[in-house]
């Protein structure tokens, strides 16, 4: 996928990132989230499927204590 940033010619590559989400006034970080990352400018984009999956994980994980979780596919 081509990068969306103006003037950037990078091609996005799928790679795991750490992604922080605010949920009920808590900041929760997921590690190993598959994202499309631009090697040129560092822009990271989550595909819709991943975002939806994260929401499901969030609802389950929010009951646990802690602020960082591994992304489970």
Q: Is 38 in the site for Zn ion (CB under 5 A)?
A: yes
Q: Which of 21, 40, 46, 53 binds Zn ion (CB under 5 A)?
A: 40
The strand ranges marked E within 1-73 are 13-23, 26-37, 44-45, 68-70
C-beta of residue 71 within 8 angstroms of C-beta of residue 31: yes
Q: Is 5 in the site for Zn ion (CB under 5 A)?
A: yes
| DSSP category for residue 52 | H
Q: Which of 21, 32, 34, 41 binds Zn ion (CB under 5 A)?
A: 41
Q: Which of 8, 17, 44, 45 binds Zn ion (CB under 5 A)?
A: 8
Q: Is 9 in the site for Zn ion (CB under 5 A)?
A: no
For the chain, report the end-to-end CA distance as a whole number of angstroms. Answer: 22
For Zn ion, the closer of residues 16 and 42 by Cβ is 42
């Amino acid at each position: 996928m081509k990068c969306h940033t103006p003037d950037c010619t990078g091609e996005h590559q799928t790679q795991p990132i750490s992604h922080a989400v605010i949920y009920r006034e808590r900041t929760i970080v997921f590690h190993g989230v598959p994202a499309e990352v631009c090697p040129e400018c560092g822009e990271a984009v989550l595909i819709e499927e991943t975002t939806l999956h994260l929401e499901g994980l969030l609802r389950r994980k929010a009951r646990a204590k802690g602020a960082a979780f591994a992304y489970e596919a």
